[in-house]
Structure 1
């Protein structure tokens, strides 16, 4: 277990003084600390920048945890910023291209390769090796997702899994039992059709569809692939699927969409553009989501919401536990040591863990996760129980972080499927175009 922060802080100060004396610096404590450059020493105030995306609950909890760090480090101020995911991704990419991301940044799984190979992230290996950042209480396979080309560039902030938020009230009205981990994609299609056939009305008077259209979501496709025994990438420069695999997935989605079992092309495109789900507008009864965001969903109808597994094939789950998000240090940080200490505090401090709870899903530190579990209630407890259910059911380990070209491929994935949605291309033609673009990105 990590030693108490206060004790560790005193140790760092004593070590700094001892080093200063050995180097012939002034024997006066203040002079020794400041003249030898000890970060955060008295008279040497540090300002760190820390940025993340997330809902209001995540923002409030994160800010509260950071204030605890500042209280323990009165010579450190942390400037924080938060945004919705779409805006955040664009802003962080602009910052990386323009000279540097903040001292500490929350990162999406798909951004690791892009930023690490682009020189925007600082390797963490030295901080892990000297004990500044502890990883001993974390699942090694989860830690490895932030590893690239022999170096650790980021660490997980939470462990999560994908699923479907669903309207339990509508399911009960339709006589549909709660989906179990063993349900299939065919079951999913039949549920969507059954709900759509009920002709329920949304708050704006339109017919409620069964589900959102996951055809434009690369995460849904990856779960589909894995349930069929394949993967998204077979290596840093190689796709793990064929045109035929993608065409089959897009055909499956588009047939359901054209039948009215999924939300309309217009509403699907609007959700892609705004990040506002069709479910939150009362337009469908199921919506693909990460478990960490389930607690932020609201029902405009006031119905009861539950969380269901992603469908599989012949009992094989395609969903997997992966970092809901990771955290890294900007390569150009002026205070990387203190940024590493803040990172460790957020990941391993018991008080911070208690404050953060499951706002990023299960804490990566397993000891903290066990403590948080005992205090959960309401939607947070339901997410936890769901994760435990999937853990017992059995899922495969997470793959390595997607290669550098994935960010561009993900954008192309949305564009190509929208052509299918609006009748501008067949699933086969769009799949061919996507695979051609993907191979170019991976090989460039």
Structure 2
């Protein structure tokens, strides 16, 4: 009897069929491990809600995938991301801006996406090389373009009509822009010409109009040699502020990010500014129909460019790079997902998706598509990605812009200080 029991025990030790003893702690043969992804982005309420809907769509179609997400405002986003980068615990998918691409890419924090395109995990058959190029550093693709944008002016036709002023056409100029301000001043109604023009964005546009750029191609100096361009652009901004036609100092004490405080949303400013992907949310906040216009010329075909709205990057530390690539593919190539996203990150980079969406476009989004079509025919290639240190240079420019707007410094002195400080920052890129 004892020999029989020992034989039975030995049989149980060598069998894998589970016929002896309990095997409930072992996974079934057909069990598949679930995949967890983490994704982070910045954005408005519309972007946040739309992105969450697309994440839920992906999870429904891929039940073994669970996606954790985190979103915040732009400045907070980068503050939160920095310690994650330092600890090498970045989310699997990171929404990336062109101004930070070089910084994160050169620190070996981002995965080259080229292999996932070659393998077919990300389908680029209907996406042009030009639409992909903005996410490249050298031969490495560190950011996948999520949409195409362009600088734009936005206005309420009714406000122009009330002021007896013709809305801008495709051939208007900076001189026309300032002349509209003169007309408003003569009317004495206290109407603003326009809202805040972010200095680094619109000065860079002005430089491009004049055949220059904000940064040199190698990223170690400023990209323009003639400070006259700085003086011309910021001299005009200072004059307009002094005439109280753009934000004067006392209004900066208000939270102009709130519609009830911003003169444009109150019908007290003729023009707003930004990138075309912001048009939908701007209309929603404004509550009435708005119209798009190009930026002032001349030579806006030099100044304008098609800009990647933003990118998705995959972190180098991700353990789920292939699944992250599949999600990016879904995000850019799925029609239903793009119906939800409504071009809020930019007009789709896929020509196929762009065409398929046209029957479903709401009037506001149709305006954006038409405007981007126009810019495609009236623009120049964008500048290379901002170099490492660009965010510090931007900080310097904004500080000087504040001083200019408060008339604490002359445009000539500001131009001199900007060059000195910017070149000192950028010189650290010399290898």
Is the 1:46–1:75 contact (alpha carbons within 8 Å) kept by the matching residues of 2? yes
Is the 1:133–1:341 contact (alpha carbons within 8 Å) kept by the matching residues of 2? yes
Q: CA deviation at 1:270?
A: 5.5
State the Cα deviation string for residues 418-437 of structure 1 (Å, max 9, x = none): 01111221111122111122
Distance 1:144 1:268, change over 3 A: farther
Q: How does 1:4-403 map to 2 (within 5 A)?
A: 42-200=31-189, 207-214=190-197, 216-235=198-217, 236-242=219-225, 243-268=227-252, 278-297=263-282, 304-314=289-299, 316-392=301-377, 394-403=378-387
SS in 1 for 2:170: coil
SS in 2 for 1:165: strand
- How far apart in 1 are the matches of 2:147 and 2:241? 33
State the Cα deviation string for residues 1-60 of structure 1 (Å, max 9, x = none): xxxxxxxxxxxxxxxxxxxxxxxxx9xxxxxxx99xxxxx94311211111122222222
Q: CA deviation at 1:70?
A: 0.9
- How far apart in 2 are the matches of 1:322 and 1:188? 24
State the Cα deviation string for residues 43-95 of structure 1 (Å, max 9, x = none): 31121111112222222221111112111211110111222223223322343
Distance 1:266 1:106, change over 3 A: farther
Distance 1:149 1:390, change over 3 A: closer
Q: Does 1:429 align with 2:413?
A: yes
SS in 2 for 1:279: coil
- How far apart in 1 are the matches of 2:258 and 2:399? 15
Is the 2:335–2:357 contact (alpha carbons within 8 Å) kept by the matching residues of 1? no
- How far apart in 1 are the matches of 2:232 and 2:175? 13
Distance 1:149 1:70, change over 3 A: same
Q: CA deviation at 1:157?
A: 0.3
Distance 1:433 1:281, change over 3 A: farther
Distance 1:146 1:221, change over 3 A: same
Q: Hey, what does 1:420 align to over in structure 2?
A: 404
- How far apart in 1 are the matches of 2:355 and 2:283? 28
Q: CA deviation at 1:274?
A: 8.4
Distance 1:403 1:197, change over 3 A: same
SS in 2 for 1:240: coil
- How far apart in 2 are the matches of 1:208 and 1:160? 29
Between 290-299 and 145-154, the greater mean CA deviation after superposition: 290-299
Is the 2:143–2:313 contact (alpha carbons within 8 Å) kept by the matching residues of 1? yes
SS in 1 for 2:202: helix
Q: CA deviation at 1:295?
A: 1.3
Q: CA deviation at 1:281?
A: 4.9
Between 73-82 and 310-319, the greater mean CA deviation after superposition: 310-319
Q: CA deviation at 1:183?
A: 1.0
- How far apart in 1 are the matches of 2:256 and 2:389? 20
Is the 1:282–1:299 contact (alpha carbons within 8 Å) kept by the matching residues of 2? no
- How far apart in 2 are the matches of 1:157 and 1:126? 18
Q: Does 1:404 align with 2:388?
A: yes
Distance 1:267 1:177, change over 3 A: same
Q: CA deviation at 1:278?
A: 4.5
- How far apart in 1 are the matches of 2:185 and 2:87? 48
- How far apart in 1 are the matches of 2:346 and 2:142? 21
Gapped runs of 5+ residues in structure 2?
Answer: 1-15, 17-26
- How far apart in 2 are the matches of 1:247 and 1:269? 26
Matched residue count: 400
SS in 1 for 2:331: helix
Is the 1:280–1:298 contact (alpha carbons within 8 Å) kept by the matching residues of 2? no
- How far apart in 2 are the matches of 1:423 and 1:339? 50
Larger radius of gyration: 2
Q: CA deviation at 1:312?
A: 1.3
- How far apart in 2 are the matches of 1:116 and 1:412? 23
Distance 1:85 1:283, change over 3 A: farther
- How far apart in 1 are the matches of 2:334 and 2:300? 38
Q: CA-atom RMSD, angstroms? A: 2.6
Is the 1:194–1:210 contact (alpha carbons within 8 Å) kept by the matching residues of 2? no
- How far apart in 1 are the matches of 2:268 and 2:284? 10
- How far apart in 1 are the matches of 2:161 and 2:318? 53
